[in-house]
Amino acid sequence: MATNDKKPRTSQTPPQVQTIALALIEEDKDQPRKRFDPASLQELADTIKLRGVKSPISVRPNPDKPGAYIINHGARRYRASKSAGLKTIPAFIDADYSAADQVIENLHRDSLTAREIADFIGREIAAGKKRIDISKLIGKSNAFVSMHLALLDLPEPIAQLFSTGKCTDVTAIYDLLRLYKNHPQPVNDWITYNTQNEVTRTDIQQLRKFLQQKGQQAIAMTDWPLENGQPLAEVTDDSRQAPDADKTAPADNAADSLLSKIYQWVKKEGKKIKDAIKSLTTEETNLIVQQLKSYFEQGRNCTNIVQFVMNALQDGRFACKKAGAFNLTAFLYGVDHSKAFNLDKIMADATS
């Protein structure tokens, strides 16, 4: 067992393994690790039922309950042993074990989340320790400490990005925080507009370049870089949309709904495209024209066709049927510069 003792032991002999009743052991309420995966715990419990606990846990005497103990390290094995129905567990008694030792051991095992590390650092700072002292204590760089400490006071949009798991890379979050301090509104809009499952360092690097290029110009939603780091193609003023998700969502949903309905008419009911379009109101026709023109112009100006299409397939903007088929066809019409925007032809090709 790895330790980082603050004072030498009175004996060169390491702690001896003892068998201790689980009823005499409790978890450390201040332990850095807060999250335990239920499925992983059940797997460990099943293994313990078959083979027992092969690696002893570490405990220290409980100062409030003579004869009882508090876990230093091994909470997963402790929980799994209880679940497996064991009454005892092998353990080392190590009285010289601190919160820092818990963090160090978990860091070596990569079993602490960034938030758990940040919480520990925050407690140490609150206790009066300096960042440089904490970095030495846990064997990490001062930059490591600073980046994790920043997680404790994130602006709401970045905090949401982190807490929902869309970005758990501490370096990426720290870089985004620095961008936010200089460009709060654009970064907030970018986070709102960004619908991908994961935000990476590359995305944030591209965002930084994008903001540097734009400078103080007004930024429209269709200007934002895509999740793969490639810039969304410039579109005409007619097809720009304001960076307000609440305002654009109903229109997009309505256009998709109309296009999907037309797709069903043509594919399942045998209607002709021209007849389907004629059955729409002027307002409905304008709505789908606006959406398809937007994709057409994006295709015309796109700098990375393959990556754009891959991302659009992943997030549902493009598909082999319904609204996604029309969106993809309009985009590809734009890519082919020999073709002009033609609503009838685009919709006919999408359903052919």
In the predicted model, is pLDDT for residue 18 greater than 70? yes
pTM of the model: 0.36
Alpha-carbon gap, residue 191 to 167, rounded angstroms: 11
User: Tell me: the pLDDT tens digits for 100-151?
Assistant: 565 656 555 545 677 778 888 888 888 888 888 888 777 778 888 888 888 8
Chain CA centroid to CA 340, Å:
40
Provide the pLDDT for residue 4.
Answer: 42
Chain CA centroid to CA 295, Å:
28
- Superfamily of domain 113-151 in CATH is KorB DNA-binding domain (1.10.10.730)
Region 154-183 average pLDDT: 84
In the predicted model, is pLDDT for residue 319 greater than 70? yes
User: Tell me: the pLDDT tens digits for 243-259?
Assistant: 333 333 333 468 888 88
Alpha-carbon gap, residue 267 to 273, rounded angstroms: 10
Domain ranges across the chain: 17-103, 113-151, 154-219, 245-350
Rounded to the nearest integer, the mean pLDDT of the chain is: 75
Q: Which CATH architecture has domain 17-103?
A: Alpha-Beta Complex (3.90)
The answer to whether 61 touches 95, Cβ cutoff 8 Å, is yes
Q: Which residue in 261, 252, 288 sits closest to 351, CA to CA?
A: 261
User: Tell me: the pLDDT tens digits for 267-291?
Assistant: 877 888 888 888 888 888 888 888 8
Residue 87's pLDDT band (boundaries 50, 70, 90)? very high
- Helix-strand-coil split of the chain, %, nearest 5: 60, 5, 35
Alpha-carbon gap, residue 28 to 37, rounded angstroms: 18
Alpha-carbon gap, residue 43 to 49, rounded angstroms: 10
301 vs 1 pLDDT, higher one = 301
In the predicted model, is pLDDT for residue 337 greater than 70? yes
The answer to whether 115 touches 123, Cβ cutoff 8 Å, is no
Provide the pLDDT for residue 172.
Answer: 85
Q: Which residues, 6 or more positions from 94, have their beta carbon under 8 angstroms from its beta carbon?
A: 1, 3, 15, 58, 59, 60, 72
